[in-house]
Amino acid sequence: VAFQDFPRTLINILIAAAERSPHGYCSGFVVPAAVMLLLTEDEEASFWMLAGFTEDVLSSVISRSCINLYAEAKYIDLDVMLHEPELAAHLNEGDCRPSVVVAGLLTRVGLGVLPTESVLRLWDALILEGGQVLAPFSILVM
């Protein structure tokens, strides 16, 4: 994909993904789609990679209402409170929930939050083990 065609190609991928998804358009599609397009330089391959990633790997997180994302956030809050009470107390002193600290990691699947190498390793783990690794990984990063 030529540089000048990148925005139009990305829009095509996002429109196709929105049509395919039962949730319609989800802002969570944008950054993974852009990275996949940068890596493959192929519109169709990027679309199918995005479809597989969002439908098979992140189906529990990506939705229009973000209800599953709220559930992941609640899990993180409770898990930190139970297993890392000192961290929970420290965050509570600052009037901050653990899930707020890792919100960007959850919503962007690591992109823009972690170094690229770490993002790709996270994506490998997500693909191999499923979406259930996202919350524990988020806690580990904290």
57-103 tens-digit pLDDT: 877 666 667 777 788 889 999 999 999 999 999 999 999 999 888 88
Do residues 41 and 82 both lie within one domain? no
Backbone angles phi, psi at 74, to 5 degrees: -65, -40
Do residues 75 and 50 both lie within one domain? no
**Residues of the chain with pLDDT > 70: what percent?**
96
Q: Is the pLDDT of residue 123 over 80?
A: yes
Helix axes 134-141, 116-129, angle to 10 degrees: 150
What average pLDDT is seen over the chain?
Answer: 88
Do residues 45 and 111 both lie within one domain? no
Question: Taking phi first (over 0 means left), then psi (-120 to 50 degrees means alpha), and beta for anything else, what does residue 97 get?
Answer: beta
Rounded to whole angstroms, how far apart are CA atoms 121 and 118?
5
Please tell me the pTM assigned to this model.
0.74
Q: Which residues contact 58 (CB under 8 A, 6 or more apart)?
A: 28, 109, 126, 131, 134
- 62 located within any domain: no
pLDDT at 106: 80
- 52 located within any domain: yes
